[in-house]
Amino acid sequence: MIVGVGIDVVDIGRFAETLERTPAFAERVFTPDERKRSVPSQAARFAAKEALAKALGAPVGLQWHDAEVVSDDAGRPWFSVSGSVERRCTELGVQSLHLSLSHDAGVASAMVVLEGTPS
């Protein structure tokens, strides 16, 4: 059963300006491995974290670093969750997190589907 869905889009140019204007933003939002990625890839990961927050019901207290977007050997993205995000997933009965990322034509997007048994 679907227990949450979230989607988000990010203008890559505006995102790059934000990173340049506010260098601490990347440290606040991304893990060290996520910060090593290109700007379009970071924009997609930011969209993923925003989409995840929406799918989780945007509860107060979620920590950015508690949801890391990682890739498997084939390049498929998925979430590694811990702390505040893991607790919220448990509260909602989430058993699987599905993630899709894209970036093209100056826009990064992400969609998240949470699957599980509602509590």
- Over the stretch 92-102, which tens digit does the pLDDT of each residue have? 999 999 999 99
Residue matched to tokens 């505040």: 84
In angstroms, the CA 43 to CA 109 distance is: 8
Q: What is the dihedral of CA 17, 77, 93, 52, to 10 degrees?
A: 10
CATH class of 2-116: alpha beta
pLDDT tens, 27-80? Answer: 999 999 999 999 999 999 999 999 999 999 988 899 999 999 999 999 999 999
| Cβ density class 38-65: b for 16+ within 10 Å, e for less | ebbbbbbbbbbbbbbbebbeeeeebebb
Domain coordinates of the chain in residue numbers? 2-116
- Whole-model pTM: value is 0.94
